[in-house]
Amino acid sequence: MRAFLGKILRFCVGLMLFLLCWEGIVRLFELPNFMLPSPVRVVDAFARQPSFLLYHASLTLGETLLGFVFGVLAGAAVALLLWASPLARRGLLPVVLVTQALPVFAIAPILVLWLGFGLTSKVVMAILVIFFAVTSSFYDGLRQMEPGLVDLARLYRVSRLRELWLFRLPSALPALASGIRIAAVFAPIGAVVGEWVGAKGGLAFIMLQSNARMQTDVMFAALILLALMVLCLRAIVDRVTRWLVHWQAET
């Protein structure tokens, strides 16, 4: 509890310093509101329409969470398949690499064209953004088992399924946890890019509309909500993954 309160205190102090620097830059250079609004104006923009902004934030949050969950499950499943089957490895590994090599903005218009402006295209976009990180991390963890454990499995002539369950999965969990932590940060990017290309709502939709109307304070309010969403998701995922690999020593 003391460590948790210490982290909260450091976060609050850092946030206050950031806001003070932001306010100082606006006042020092006398920047107009359409270029860089002050923190007070951003808070006022949120206070004028909190339900409106929170509603659109809930849309982006739903897209992010669905994309995160399905992306982690799909990435873990493909990693297991790549490890278990040489045939699948030869066929799927190039596809996995190609999905990561293609630019995000090149895929998004196609997904919106195929899946529409609704929830589905944003969720699929988030899945594609985080899919490679989870697959790559977990697959590497499954392959890089300790040599002593490999010798032990061969000594007792365990089946491939029991080897996976008893040796490889516990050994690969730290790598999977790292991939999940990365996915927690990148999942909102997929949802936001999808909303930029075409959407009926969401924080990115609000940013585009506000930018077109020169309502920079509203755009910054939506941006701060998105940043808070990412921080909260990462904090929750970090706590869950630490519990998942509780035996791993931290330095």
Q: Whole-model pTM?
A: 0.88
> How many Cα atoms are found within 13 Å in the side-chain-facing hemisphere of 88?
10
**Residue-wise pLDDT tens digits, 166-189:** 778 888 899 999 999 999 999 998
Q: Which range in 61-70, 85-94, 136-145, 193-202 is most confidently predicted, on average pLDDT?
A: 61-70
Which positions ≥6 away from 108 have C-beta within 8 Å? Answer: 121, 125, 193, 194, 196, 197
Average pLDDT over residues 113-119: 85
**Residue-wise pLDDT tens digits, 10-38:** 878 888 898 899 889 988 888 888 888 98
How far apart (Å, rounded) are the C-alpha atoms in residues 166 and 163?
A: 5
Label residue 106 by pLDDT band (50, 70, 90).
confident
CB 61 within 8 A of CB 126: no
- Neighbour count for residue 38 (Cβ, 10 Å): 19
User: Which candidate, 192, 190, 178, places its Cα nearest to that of 222?
Assistant: 192
**Residue-wise pLDDT tens digits, 181-229:** 999 999 998 889 888 887 788 999 999 889 888 889 999 999 999 999 9
> How many Cα atoms are found within 13 Å in the side-chain-facing hemisphere of 5?
2
CB 248 within 8 A of CB 232: no
Tell me the DSSP string of 52-121.
HHHHHHHHHHHHHHHHHHHHHHHHHHHHHHHHH-HHHHHHHHHHHHHHHHS-HHHHHHHHHHHH-SSHHH
